[in-house]
């Protein structure tokens, strides 16, 4: 996708409005290299084009229509301003227009504002903005990723297939997706002697390939180049799309499925194995394979604040087990942990890339990356394989057909239902029951440097609010990875100066996230091209719990010594504290009385679940307790889409245990099957 000259002019004007060139404000340190740097000097428009091009056709069309509106005199009608295009407005008029859109009662204008805001502040603060590669980083205290000499071998230990012409493969088991679910199934079955082929839509990155630069790595390792959102734009979603999937880019939190969630799933969805010793053994097995532990004792600034503030308030706070090994007390390891959400250069994070997929490859499994599966093939009610398009290193598309005795779909709770729907499945609950663990960030300024980009991304969790009002629903308080691009996206934008002032204090910002176990759900559908569309609006019930968590997070910040707390609403309600006491509690008390419509506050999701939910009732659950779909034999689901409901904790271990359990059923069902043929090349 390429922008026209006129579109580029509009985009540069937008960049300069979100990140304007300004004189230093009164009292601020004179720093002309920071205050005088405008957005157009630091935003790479080719990166913007790549991100937009990775979205569904309807989203691309909406974006182009937005640019068209911005380039017409009719734009003035949207804010009762001058009738001229955006790029011809005076700078102060441009800012007033954006402020008007942010507060508008028209949902489409709020959506447009936030889409543009996220795009420009992320690219500016997260991108490579000078020849030296730092740009404004040094002026906000961010050192950028430290890229030492490689500590893992440069040679890739897995050798994926690289066909050069249209090809057909045969196998016993085709696994679509290589993350927490697909990776485990592939490793388990290959180690048991079965012929396994893995198709992965994303690329294979290893060790030195991970530059750990936000714009580059989000674009390469995440679905939709990190730009996926719900249809109304109200929730931004992150989903891994690379070899190893989410386990390559997640935050390394290895939570066991809570016992009350296992009991709920077993009783309400007729899946008794969730409370069985078999499922516990699966949790034990995957925990051992991933070297899950709590041995690393050092917290970063924001995790220490969550620990200290929670303890000061007498709240339940504990260490998070993480799937990392080989750590030392070196600064290199400590700093490197903060960047592993952008890919682990150091080889310490034990995702499926370093464990189950390596096991699968070592036992003869074949892997094909950059292969987008278009449909699962079926005959007489049974899965027979799949069709895919492989993209060669030089960009050529190659058709791939696979014949398989079993097909396991583990493409994630967005792509799995989309694939099944475009493959012709019709179960009425397929794509329904989408849970997102909707999340907001509550940030605070501390007198000391927090440097949230270093150290373990999450090492402490506050569980005092997980079961509110006697229910199984509530919130967890955790910490997010914090690098300038994502930080700039999350912080509310009221004006160019206000946002720049906040970002200059980035080294003193600590953030907690409020992760909500959502009771009420959305859905995944597909457009006419077969691409997934996400419909989800936070319910009143779940919003009540989320706001409870926002209040709790703010109180923990104050107890930990923060002097300023930034509440996650577009109007930027701000708390002020002194000596651990809140000076304006009325602002916190007023939170429920603000309007919380989509795009009036920032919502995020890194966990998508339950769109092909597993259960004992075939009429209401697409997936059976063994993982096999009711509608099509020999077709299995082994990812978070099979969760009966959302897990309430970071889902990696639960996905892996469920996939491990499903793999045991697959082994048993394959015992009587004949060996597969070798792959056949089709000329």
- Which residues, at least 6 apart from 656, have a Cβ–Cβ distance to it below 8 Å? 180, 181, 184, 282, 286, 290
Q: How many Å separate Cα 631 from the centre of its chain?
A: 30
Dist CA 532 CA 17 (whole Å)? 33
Residue 678's pLDDT band (cuts 50, 70, 90):
very low
Taking the domains of the chain in order of start, what are their residue ranges?
Answer: 5-144+435-605, 167-204+255-289+352-430+614-670
Dist CA 33 CA 30 (whole Å)? 9
Is residue 681 predicted with pLDDT exceeding 60? no
Residue 676's pLDDT band (cuts 50, 70, 90):
very low
- Which residues, at least 6 apart from 177, have a Cβ–Cβ distance to it below 8 Å? 198, 199, 200, 201, 245, 409, 410, 411, 412, 415, 416, 639
The percentage of residues in the chain with a pLDDT greater than 90, rounded to a whole number, is 90
Residue 383's pLDDT band (cuts 50, 70, 90):
very high
Residue 149's pLDDT band (cuts 50, 70, 90):
low
Is residue 238 predicted with pLDDT exceeding 70? yes
Q: Give the sign of the dihedral formed by CA 322, CA 327, CA 331, CA 336.
A: negative
Q: What is the mean pLDDT of residues 648-655?
A: 98
Q: State which H helix or E strand residue 526 sits in.
A: strand 522-526
Residue 675's pLDDT band (cuts 50, 70, 90):
low
Hey, what are 526's tokens? 């597909």
Is residue 147 predicted with pLDDT exceeding 80? no
pLDDT at 133: 54
3-state secondary structure of 389: strand
Long-range contacts of 581-585 (CB under 8 A, 24+ apart): 582/555, 582/558
pTM: 0.95
Dist CA 269 CA 267 (whole Å)? 6
What's the chain's length in residues? Answer: 683
Is residue 134 predicted with pLDDT exceeding 80? no
pLDDT at 680: 37
Dist CA 662 CA 500 (whole Å)? 50
Hey, what are 603's tokens? 């919502």
Query: How many Cβ atoms sit within 10 Å of the Cβ of residue 630?
Result: 15
Burial class (CB in 10 A: 0-12, 13-18, 19+), 398: middle
Hey, what are 296's tokens? 């690393």
pLDDT at 674: 58
CB 558 within 8 A of CB 582: yes
250-278 pLDDT per residue, tens? 999 999 999 999 999 999 999 999 999 99
60-71 pLDDT per residue, tens? 999 999 999 999
In the beta sheet, which residues pair with residue 404? 171
CB 294 within 8 A of CB 322: yes
Question: For the chain, how big is the Rg over CA atoms in Å?
Answer: 25
579-606 pLDDT per residue, tens? 999 999 999 999 999 999 999 999 999 9
Nearest to 372 by CA among 384, 386, 382, 358: 386
Hey, what are 120's tokens? 């420009």
Dist CA 353 CA 192 (whole Å)? 19
Q: What is the mean pLDDT of residues 95-109?
A: 97
Dist CA 119 CA 106 (whole Å)? 20
Is residue 550 predicted with pLDDT exceeding 60? yes
Dist CA 442 CA 453 (whole Å)? 16
Tell me the DSSP string of 560-624. TT-SEEE-SSTT--EEEEETTEES-HHHHHTGGGS---TTSS-EEES--B-TT-B-S-TTT-SB-
- Which residues, at least 6 apart from 493, have a Cβ–Cβ distance to it below 8 Å? 18, 102, 117, 121, 499
Query: How many Cβ atoms sit within 10 Å of the Cβ of residue 563?
Result: 18
Residue 672's pLDDT band (cuts 50, 70, 90):
low
Q: State which H helix or E strand residue 395 sits in.
A: none
CB 540 within 8 A of CB 549: no
Going by DSSP bridges, is the β-strand pair 397-409/167-176 parallel, antiparallel, or unpaired? parallel
Secondary-structure percent of the chain, ordered helix, strand, coil, rounded to 5: 40, 20, 45
Q: What is the mean pLDDT of residues 374-394?
A: 97
Walk across the sheet containing 432-434 and list its strands: 432-434, 522-526, 532-535
Q: How many H helices and E strands in the chain?
A: 21, 21
Residue 531 φ/ψ, nearest 5 degrees: -85, 145
Dist CA 477 CA 462 (whole Å)? 5
The percentage of residues in the chain with a pLDDT greater than 70, rounded to a whole number, is 96
List helix spans (H) across 5-56. Answer: 5-18, 32-35, 45-53
Q: Give the sign of the dihedral formed by CA 32, CA 33, CA 35, CA 41.
A: positive
Nearest to 551 by CA among 442, 437, 649, 436: 442
Is residue 128 predicted with pLDDT exceeding 80? no
pLDDT at 683: 26
Q: What is the mean pLDDT of residues 177-202?
A: 98
Residue 32's pLDDT band (cuts 50, 70, 90):
confident
CA angle 664-667-671, nearest 5°?
150
Dist CA 276 CA 255 (whole Å)? 18
Dist CA 599 CA 590 (whole Å)? 19
List helix spans (H) across 397-474. Answer: 412-422
630-647 pLDDT per residue, tens? 999 999 999 999 999 999
Is residue 679 predicted with pLDDT exceeding 50? no
Is residue 682 predicted with pLDDT exceeding 70? no
Dist CA 116 CA 310 (whole Å)? 36
- What is the third-level CATH fold of 167-204+255-289+352-430+614-670? FAD/NAD(P)-binding domain (3.50.50)
């Amino acid at each position: 996708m390429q922008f026209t000259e006129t579109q580029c002019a509009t985009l540069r004007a937008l960049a300069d409005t979100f990140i304007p060139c300004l004189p230093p404000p009164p009292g601020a340190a004179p720093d002309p290299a920071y205050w005088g740097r405008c957005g157009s000097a630091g935003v790479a428009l080719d990166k913007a084009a790549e991100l937009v091009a990775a979205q569904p056709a309807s989203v691309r069309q909406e974006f182009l229509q937005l640019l068209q509106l911005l380039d017409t005199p009719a734009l003035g009608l949207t804010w009762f301003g001058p009738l001229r295009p955006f790029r011809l407005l005076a700078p102060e008029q441009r800012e007033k227009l954006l402020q008007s859109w942010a507060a508008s009662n028209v949902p489409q204008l709020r959506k447009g504002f936030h889409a543009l805001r996220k795009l420009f502040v992320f690219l500016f603060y997260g991108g490579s903005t000078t020849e030296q590669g730092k740009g404004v980083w040094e002026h906000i205290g961010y050192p950028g990723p430290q890229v030492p000499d490689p500590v893992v071998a440069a040679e890739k230990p897995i050798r994926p297939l690289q066909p050069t012409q249209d090809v057909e493969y045969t196998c016993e088991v085709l696994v679509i997706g290589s993350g927490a679910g697909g990776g485990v199934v592939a490793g388990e079955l290959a180690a048991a002697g079965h012929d396994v082929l893995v198709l992965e839509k994303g690329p294979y990155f290893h060790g030195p390939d991970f530059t750990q630069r936000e714009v580059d790595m989000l674009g390469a390792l995440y679905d939709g180049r990190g730009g996926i959102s719900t249809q109304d734009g109200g929730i931004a979603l992150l989903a891994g799309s690379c070899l190893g999937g989410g386990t390559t880019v997640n935050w390394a939190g290895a939570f066991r499925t809570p016992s009350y969630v296992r009991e709920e799933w077993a009783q309400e969805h007729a899946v008794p194995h969730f409370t069985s010793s078999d499922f516990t053994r699966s949790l034990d097995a995957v925990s051992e394979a991933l070297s899950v532990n709590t041995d690393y004792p050092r917290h970063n600034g924001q995790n220490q604040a969550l620990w200290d503030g929670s303890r000061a308030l007498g709240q339940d706070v504990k260490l998070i087990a993480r799937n990392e090994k080989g750590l030392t007390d070196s600064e290199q390891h400590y700093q490197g942990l903060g960047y592993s959400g952008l890919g682990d250069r150091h080889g310490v994070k034990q995702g499926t890339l370093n464990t189950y997929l390596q096991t699968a490859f070592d036992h003869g499994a074949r892997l094909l990356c950059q292969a987008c599966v278009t449909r699962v093939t079926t005959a007489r009610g049974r899965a027979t394989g799949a069709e895919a398009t492989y993209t060669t290193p030089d960009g050529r598309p190659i058709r791939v057909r696979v014949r398989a005795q079993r097909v396991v779909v583990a493409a994630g709770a967005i792509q799995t239902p989309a694939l099944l729907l475009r493959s012709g499945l019709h179960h009425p609950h397929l794509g329904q029951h989408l849970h997102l663990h909707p999340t907001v960030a509550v940030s605070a300024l501390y007198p000391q440097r927090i440097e949230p980009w270093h150290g373990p991304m999450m090492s402490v969790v506050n569980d005092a609010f997980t079961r509110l009002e006697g229910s199984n629903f509530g919130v967890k308080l955790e910490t997010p990875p914090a690098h300038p691009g994502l930080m700039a996206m999350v912080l509310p934008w009221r004006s160019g100066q206000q946002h720049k002032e906040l970002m200059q204090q980035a080294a003193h910002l600590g953030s907690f996230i409020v992760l909500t176990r959502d009771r009420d759900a959305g859905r995944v559908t597909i457009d006419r091209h077969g691409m997934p569309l996400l419909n989800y609006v936070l319910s009143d019930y779940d919003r009540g719990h989320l706001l409870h968590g926002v209040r709790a997070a703010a109180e923990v910040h104050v107890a930990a010594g923060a002097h300023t707390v930034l509440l996650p609403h577009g109007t930027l309600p701000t708390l002020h504290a002194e000596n651990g006491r809140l000076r304006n509690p009325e602002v916190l008390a007023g939170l429920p009385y603000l309007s919380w419509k989509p795009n009036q506050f920032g919502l995020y999701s890194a966990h998508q679940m339950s769109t092909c939910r597993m259960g004992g009732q075939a009429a209401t659950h697409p997936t059976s307790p063994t993982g096999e779909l009711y509608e099509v034999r020999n077709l299995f689901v082994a990812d978070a889409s099979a969760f009966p409901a959302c897990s309430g904790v970071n889902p990696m271990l639960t996905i892996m245990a469920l996939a491990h359990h499903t793999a045991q059923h697959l082994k048993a069902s394959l015992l009587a099957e004949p060996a597969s043929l070798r792959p056949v090349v089709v000329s």
